[in-house]
Structure 1
Amino acid sequence: MTCQLPTDCLNEIIECLEEDRHTLYSCLLVNHLWCEISVRVLWRNIWKFKTFKSKIVASSILSTLIACLPNESKELLCKNEIFISEPTSKLPLFNYAAFCKVLSIISVNEMVENGFQDKQSSKLCLVNEEFIKMFANQIYSLKKLVYYNNYHLNISFPYFPGLRDLSELYCCSSLHSNFFHQLSQICHNLHALYIHFINYNIPNELKELISLQNNLKILSLSAFNASWKDIIPSLKNNSNTITKLCLYGNSSDLPLSFVSLLSNLQEFIFSFLDGYHSEDFKALQHVKFSNLQTLKFPYECPRPEYIMKFLENNGKNLKKLYIRDSNEALKLSITDFCPNLKSLFIIFENNELDTLKSIFNNCRYLESIKIWCGKSLFPFNKDYLSEKGVFEIVANYSPNNFCELNIKNISNSEISSEDLELFFISWKNRTPKRILTLIIIKEYCKDFDDYEENMEIIKKYENLGIIKYRTIGSEKEKIEEECYVSL
């Protein structure tokens, strides 16, 4: 006698597979019920897989959505000599568009541009509008909207009831004021707001939309040769609710005074291409954020003396610290001001092994660290730590809770298989015993996993349960993954 899981239970199980596409695809083949639940999960955010660089996948999604278009849309496209071919004459098994909880206008544009041979702007615009109209008519509860200008296509965005449940908005300041006005009438519970500023003229309707939010938690502002100055008064109503702030820019005149008003700030990302020249950070160095736990400077930092003073006032509560650019004094200040860190990224020069040792000795809750290793390929650039030196310091001085080491090599790895195995043996003999996750950030040089004898050693200690080993993309990709607004 077969045992069938209750539908509610099956729903919860398959929900947990949202990030595991391959298993979800397998679930599609079990039976109709499993297929329906899996399809709902897969199509919730069909855009997140960034599949539109693959013409095969983009074509498949496009064909499915074409099949879902209402007859009047198909007739309109045909009337305008936009000929679409459906994969089958049968009606689609599900109303896929209705399953979407995320709508990315930029991804719809990419899908259409890649999927249609006729590249006339007027025709592409019409196809885009019919797809967006279909989503507007069928999505009853939209959670996330990504809408940036496409200067090649002038698309009108329709109002639809599903916008009432919107919790995440990604947009640019140059969108038509009617769009912001519509949202301000119905969207008062945005959880996250990401704004890219195109120019210095900010629509009043955008300011109104910001000021009407009841519980804004995440705010991300990016401005390159533009400014967010005019929206600062609109943030007053949310100064106590914002817990995560991300600032991106390349201009030294972007105001930071409003940051001091965010009394419950927990995460602060300061990503400026010319951050050293941001004198506005000077005022922030004296502000105390009692709840701040994460601080990141992915690119150029403000002056080290400003950051050191900021850490003196706020470092005690920090759990994550990410500083790409620093001097020795700033590194040593971490040992004094940030005793409770759990995760750290900082770049050490080749003569700073003792500084790394000092951080391990003073930050006794540290669990993860990311560093650079190798010799510069250019005579006037800095050299970084040697892998062998890092392994010795980690084995002998890392705290009891330490369990993750991230290494990016800027030159070909010089670690020998003997030194690699000695490190794993040292880790095996540590007390207390913890599995070490060893992560290599792959770029353009040879890492130690590119050598067969090293991989044999890695697999040996993986099988013994001493380490877990994995690689990730380049440092640039990692920074974008962690710090930049994802579309």
Structure 2
Amino acid sequence: MSQQLPADCLNDIFDYLEENKTTLHSCLLVNRQCCDIAVRILWRNVWNFQSNNKPRVSLSIISTLIACLPRESKDHLHKNGIAIFTPTQKPPLYNYASFCKVISINEIDEMVQYIFKGRPTALSRSLNFNKYLLSQEILKMFMNQILSLKSLEYYLGCSQNIIFTCLPGAKTCLLDLIELKCRSDIYSEFFYQISQICYNIQLLTIELRDISNGLADLIFLQNNLKSVTLISISCDEENEGTKALISSLTKFSLSLIKLKIIEYYIPLSFIAIFKNLEELILSFELNPFDDFIQLQHVNFSNLKVLKFLYAIPRVEMLIKFLEINGKTLTEFYVGDHDSKLNVSIAKFCPNLKILFTIFIEKELDILELIFNSCQYLESIRVWCGDGYLNDKEFLDILVKSSPKNFYELEIYYCSYHEPSEILPKELEGFLINWKNRMTQKSLSLTIFNNTEGISLEANEENMKIIKKYEKVGLIKKFRIKEYDYDED
């Protein structure tokens, strides 16, 4: 007789699969108990489904939400000449809207556009008005049905003027909001209203444009802000709204632990006040950014993660910064090359666990120096090809010199002309040598490929060897991904 796992065990298992939508979706078909649990997790953040046919997926999601609308909402739409047919006339099996913990106004806006695409509208009304009516009813349902929303993404779209913060149930729905992503130029009423409801936002992402009144007040009224991301599209540092925003952030000089800035139009000197930062991520395209001189002597005693996704400061400034702060770093990411900087990593960052830096072909000795100096290193990402590291020579150094806890290897192949030099016999030799290491740690291998597809996985025999060692557990995980500079 088969035994069913307890519901709490299934909850834990399915929680672990939350980001793996395909696997989680297959759990819907196991039995009713698995379906009940899986469907709740799938709908927590229904907006981030990845699919090659996004219009079809979007239509499916929005049609399901429309089917969940209460009778009065459907009647209101019908009276306004909006007749939308759902896949089935039967009532939905679940109240899907109530499971959502994340709302994306932009995704709702995009999905609603799919509904009306190609449909004629009454001459007396615009298409935007129809989209507004449908979006309003969907948001009204969310405010009524979601007992505790965790994340809200609100940039501008055709739904921008729906003041959903005043809808029935909004106060209960938004009271425990943890994450807010928004543009700074949303209408002021939104910021004023939400600031009277939400006091415990911990994660804040702001796309900086013009600064609406009320945004600075919303920030200042938070009790436990921990993470801020500023994305500068066009922002005047002399603008009173910008000054007010920065002033509000200073309230969290001791509590903020993560700061990410993508481009900037404000002086970096304000970063120095956040003494307890654990993560600092800077993504600037202009190189060098001399404004970093304001930070090179600042001691961030808790800093663990430091990332420069594109440009880096002047190397002398960055080395000075590492001399002061390198000892606490466990993760360092630098998207540019400098041999002096690589040597300084070995000298000042002994506790690194994760490293991404760029080596050129003749710097294997520096790489070996880092392996010998950073004995806690577990993961490294490097570039190979076109004057960067030779992958065969790199793997030889890796298996001989990497620390005992090392297990994760990520290689980005830059070459558009020359294929990887790794032959099947050499790849298998590397894996056999890895197996004979004293630590016996399984290897995680990620290949970041360019569009030419000439990395080591382009050789079919190499792939057969990788699959062979996956089966015996020596390779724990193998992935082929597109490279993303902004990955953090």
TM-score (norm 1): 0.91
CA distance in 1, matches of 2:156, 2:473: 50
* Aligned ranges 1:358-397 → 2 under 5 Å: 358-375=369-386, 383-397=387-401
CA distance in 2, matches of 1:436, 1:13: 24
> What is the deviation of 1:312?
0.5
Q: 1:3 to 1:449 in 2, by over 3 A?
A: closer
CA distance in 1, matches of 2:465, 2:226: 46
The one-letter code of the counterpart of 2:138 is: F
Match of 2:219 among 192, 210, 213: 210
Q: 1:134 to 1:51 in 2, by over 3 A?
A: farther
CA distance in 2, matches of 1:26, 1:90: 23
> What is the deviation of 1:447?
1.6
Match of 1:317 among 310, 328, 342: 328
TM-score (norm 2): 0.90
CA distance in 1, matches of 2:196, 2:7: 37
Deviations 1:154-207 (A, max 9, x none): 4313121211010000001000111001111121111101111013xx233110
Equivalent in the alignment of 1:300: 311
CA distance in 2, matches of 1:60, 1:93: 15
Match of 1:269 among 275, 281, 301: 281
The one-letter code of the counterpart of 1:155 is: N
CA distance in 2, matches of 1:72, 1:49: 30
> What is the deviation of 1:9?
4.8
The one-letter code of the counterpart of 2:390 is: S
CA contact (8 A) 1:242 1:264 kept: yes
> What is the deviation of 1:51?
5.1
SS of residue in 1 equivalent to 2:260: strand
SS of residue in 2 equivalent to 1:214: coil
Deviations 1:105-148 (A, max 9, x none): 01101111123223822222222222112212221211100000
Aligned length: 467
Q: Quick check: 414-423 or 383-392, which moved more?
A: 414-423
CA distance in 1, matches of 2:68, 2:395: 57
Match of 2:271 among 243, 248, 259: 259
Equivalent in the alignment of 1:220: 229
Equivalent in the alignment of 2:162: 156
Residue 398 (structure 1) aligned with residue 412 (structure 2) = no
CA distance in 2, matches of 1:9, 1:464: 28
Instruction: Give ranges in structure 2 of 5+ residues lacking alignment.
Output: 121-126, 237-241
The one-letter code of the counterpart of 1:272 is: F
CA distance in 1, matches of 2:371, 2:3: 53
SS of residue in 1 equivalent to 2:303: coil
> What is the deviation of 1:279?
2.4
* Aligned ranges 1:350-361 → 2 under 5 Å: 350-361=361-372
> What is the deviation of 1:406?
0.9
Equivalent in the alignment of 1:473: 481
SS of residue in 2 equivalent to 1:28: helix
Give percent identity, aligned residues only.
Answer: 48
Equivalent in the alignment of 2:239: none
CA contact (8 A) 2:181 2:206 kept: yes
CA distance in 2, matches of 1:451, 1:347: 25
CA distance in 1, matches of 2:272, 2:409: 34
CA distance in 1, matches of 2:252, 2:244: 16
> What is the deviation of 1:40?
1.6
Equivalent in the alignment of 1:95: 95
Q: 1:324 to 1:7 in 2, by over 3 A?
A: closer
Equivalent in the alignment of 1:174: 185
Equivalent in the alignment of 2:437: 430
CA distance in 1, matches of 2:159, 2:152: 18
Deviations 1:66-108 (A, max 9, x none): 1111223222322333220122222212211111111000110
CA distance in 2, matches of 1:115, 1:472: 35
Equivalent in the alignment of 1:379: none
CA distance in 2, matches of 1:229, 1:392: 53
CA contact (8 A) 1:458 1:469 kept: no
Equivalent in the alignment of 1:125: 132
> What is the deviation of 1:20?
3.5
Equivalent in the alignment of 2:123: none
CA distance in 2, matches of 1:182, 1:347: 47
The one-letter code of the counterpart of 2:336 is: D
Q: Quick check: 443-452 or 291-300, which moved more?
A: 443-452
* Aligned ranges 1:9-20 → 2 under 5 Å: 9-20=9-20
Equivalent in the alignment of 1:378: none
Deviations 1:222-252 (A, max 9, x none): 1023145441110122111111110111x4x
Match of 1:447 among 438, 449, 455: 455
Q: Quick check: 426-435 or 296-305, which moved more?
A: 426-435
Q: 1:324 to 1:6 in 2, by over 3 A?
A: closer
Equivalent in the alignment of 2:412: 408
The one-letter code of the counterpart of 1:179 is: F
Q: 1:465 to 1:100 in 2, by over 3 A?
A: closer
> What is the deviation of 1:50?
4.2
The one-letter code of the counterpart of 2:106 is: I
Residue 236 (structure 1) aligned with residue 267 (structure 2) = no
> What is the deviation of 1:274?
1.3
Residue 461 (structure 1) aligned with residue 469 (structure 2) = yes
The one-letter code of the counterpart of 2:260 is: C
Residue 136 (structure 1) aligned with residue 143 (structure 2) = yes
Q: Quick check: 429-438 or 188-197, which moved more?
A: 429-438
CA distance in 2, matches of 1:236, 1:310: 22
> What is the deviation of 1:468?
3.3
CA contact (8 A) 2:69 2:141 kept: yes
Equivalent in the alignment of 2:41: 41
> What is the deviation of 1:5?
5.0
Q: 1:51 to 1:129 in 2, by over 3 A?
A: farther
CA contact (8 A) 2:160 2:186 kept: no
Deviations 1:397-432 (A, max 9, x none): 111111111111112212222322222222222223
